[in-house]
Amino acid sequence: MKNIFIATAVLLSGCAGTWESTPVVERMYVITCGENHVKDLARFTGQAADKDKAVVFSDYCYLIRHAKGWMLWDTGNADRLAAMPNGLQTPVATAYMRKPLAESLKEIGVAPEQIQHFAMSHHHGDHSGNANYFGTSTLYMQQAEYDAVFGAEPQKYGVAVANFEKLRGAKTVKLNGDHDVFGDGSVVIKSTPGDTPGHQSLFVRLAKTGKVLLSGDMVHQSVNWDAMRAPGFNFNVERSVQSMREMDVYLKQTGAKLWINHDMVQNQAIPKAPAFVE
Ligand SMILES: [Zn+2]
């Protein structure tokens, strides 16, 4: 009986110790980085009922303050779109950038050169629009994405090459899977290929908000998450669904919430920069 008691006490104190020392980031700014007015939701859902249904996709950048430095995740639509009040027409959507990222960073009080760690979920223009600001940061990119962007055939992958001009010579950490950015488990890049060859998502641990997984375009809308389905235009649809299933397991294991970048309704209640989440 005594032995059982001791074993339980050790177990409990072990848990308490782990809990108290769990590293978290200090805060995270969710920055509005544009809007994409999608003309036909069916392109994303594959559902006949969504044909020609217009939907506004939100578009966020995430600035993370960790004790060891700043990290930026995604860069949204290009700031130059701010000079286009009627937006930029693309085959899929009309893209807007009402408040430039440069302005939002200034408001927070952080210059691009102060951001040591930089990663994008993937190369698409609504995430890489302002990537060139961060040529002095350390770039974290999956090898497969790096090869698509900087390889011999970027056009094959629909890469907007101009978005990456200043990153070609940047200090780059090429990844082949997950990566713990600060080495303490508080910010972890998760490999989620499918939408693009080297797509990635970001796990972040916050003290009050809890754990969140920033989707990137691993999934675009909650309706697709609920149905575990991926758009037909993805680089690899089957791998996209596999990444979703893997992240579903990961969310259950960690207890993290999924924050879907382009789901405007899901994001409504989350405070936006210059406010922050802790
Ligand atoms: Zn996107």
Interval between CA 68 and ligand 1 midpoint (Å): 29
Interval between CA 120 and ligand 1 midpoint (Å): 11
User: Is 5 part of any domain?
Assistant: no
CATH of the domain at 34: 3.60.15.10
User: Is 13 part of any domain?
Assistant: no
User: Is 160 part of any domain?
Assistant: yes
Interval between CA 7 and ligand 1 midpoint (Å): 50
In sequence order, which residues have a C-beta less than 8 Å from that of residue 272 and are 6 or more positions away?
30, 31, 32
Q: Per the structure block, which two tokens stand in for 260?
A: 């879907």
Interval between CA 9 and ligand 1 midpoint (Å): 49
Stated as kind and residue range, the H or E segment containing 50 is none
Interval between CA 89 and ligand 1 midpoint (Å): 15
Q: Per the structure block, which two tokens stand in for 190?
A: 């998760």
Interval between CA 124 and ligand 1 midpoint (Å): 6
Q: Which of 235, 230, 188, 171 is nearest to 73 (CA)?
A: 188
The domain containing residue 161 runs over which residues? 23-267
User: If you ran DSSP here, which 8-state letter would residue 169 be given?
Assistant: T
User: Is 15 part of any domain?
Assistant: no
Longest dimension (CA), the chain: 75
In the prediction, which pLDDT does 203 show?
A: 98
E strand intervals along 40-92: 55-66, 69-73, 88-89
Interval between CA 113 and ligand 1 midpoint (Å): 25
Rounded to two decimals, the pTM is 0.92
Interval between CA 19 and ligand 1 midpoint (Å): 35
Q: Indicate the residue type of 45.
A: T
User: Is 18 part of any domain?
Assistant: no
Residues in the chain: 278
**Number of independent structural domains in the chain:** 1
User: Is 7 part of any domain?
Assistant: no
Interval between CA 229 and ligand 1 midpoint (Å): 16
216 — alpha (psi -120 to 50), left (phi > 0) or beta?
Answer: left
Q: Indicate the residue type of 254.
A: T
In sequence order, which residues have a C-beta less than 8 Å from that of residue 223 and are 6 or more positions away?
45
Q: Which of 209, 217, 222, 212 is nearest to 264 (CA)?
A: 222
Stated as kind and residue range, the H or E segment containing 150 is helix 143-150
Interval between CA 219 and ligand 1 midpoint (Å): 9
Distances 154 to 144, 151, 237 between C-alpha atoms, Å: 12, 6, 20
Q: Per the structure block, which two tokens stand in for 55?
A: 């939907």
Q: Indicate the residue type of 155.
A: Q
Interval between CA 262 and ligand 1 midpoint (Å): 7
Interval between CA 208 and ligand 1 midpoint (Å): 27
In the prediction, which pLDDT does 59 show?
A: 98
Residue ranges of the chain whose pLDDT lies below 70? 1-21
Interval between CA 69 and ligand 1 midpoint (Å): 26
User: Is 50 part of any domain?
Assistant: yes
In the prediction, which pLDDT does 3 show?
A: 46
User: Is 16 part of any domain?
Assistant: no
Interval between CA 127 and ligand 1 midpoint (Å): 6
